[in-house]
Structure 1
Amino acid sequence: MVGRSGYGAQALSLGYGCAQRGVIVHELLHAVGFWHEHSRADRDDHVTIFWGNILRGMEHNFQRLSWQFVTNLGAPYDTGSIMHYDPYSFSKDKTSPTILPKRRGVSIGQRFGFSEIDLWKLNRLYACRHSGYSTNDETAENSINKENGESNLWTASIIHCYTF
């Protein structure tokens, strides 16, 4: 399930071995409305799914959804997203890839933290404004520091949205 379920507190259930920061952030993003990045309608332009290498019964985790169900919020496909599976997720034998990027040298499936695009989409989804380096009310879309190119998105999500 993706997004809010019912009223009151949003429960988050983590299985054995899942109490790691990256996994928790991944599951929290599901709770606030994010699908897997590789579920996007345009995913076949960016990755190849090897259906024959996926554990039986786990194929639904690689389902491609139409734009009717998944929006990209105007962001490009993000191979660096915490919402993207790694090449061996749900592999039958742990040595045969289930998903690979089409561009050579591109990594997928990190569980270290938000990508810059993850944060941008989170702020966009919840219409958050950032504190930034100026006094005007720029939106998250304009939250890149013009002087050094660094992102202010983490500040934006903490100060204005309190979603985490």
Structure 2
Amino acid sequence: MNRPTNIVLYSELDSPIGRLLITGDGEAITGLYMDQQATRPVAGDNWVRDDQHLDNARSQLLAYFEGQLQQFDLPLAGAGTPFQQQVWQALREIPFGHTETYGELARRVGNAKASRAVGLANGRNPIGIIVPCHRVIGANGSLTGYAGGIERKKWLLAHERAHMGQ
């Protein structure tokens, strides 16, 4: 699809954790945000609602929330630095229903001392849920910060544990 590059396609989806905003560029998903998320973008004049082009993402998210999907299969194009991209790719490798600490994630991206930088990259993930930053926890097992709020993080982790093995 040939659209001007400054056009942002978007759709909204009601979910068990509130209304979600999905953004895309016509080729890939560029964002997934929750209501009252600090990093949630504000629609501009260049935004076009396009549920049809984002239907695959909508369908997969609905299947995820129904407990019928454990791994998303969507083209993603979240904007970030090479290090952020590396962390976000590593997040996608954390299995459904499992968690990993920031330190473990830092070791997997090749720098065991970078847990703080990994945490910052995790917090800047523009495609929540699909890129499962909610699966990262503190070294002591605590549910540390989550851009969508700790209650949503708790819900997502409990949801995944309840649907493991299905």
**Bucket of the pairwise TM-score, normalised by the shorter protein:** under 0.3
Q: So what's the TM-score if we normalise by structure 1? A: 0.24
Greater relative contact order (Cα < 8 A, sep 6+): 2
Structure with greater strand percent: 2
Q: So what's the TM-score if we normalise by structure 2? A: 0.24
- Rg larger for: 1
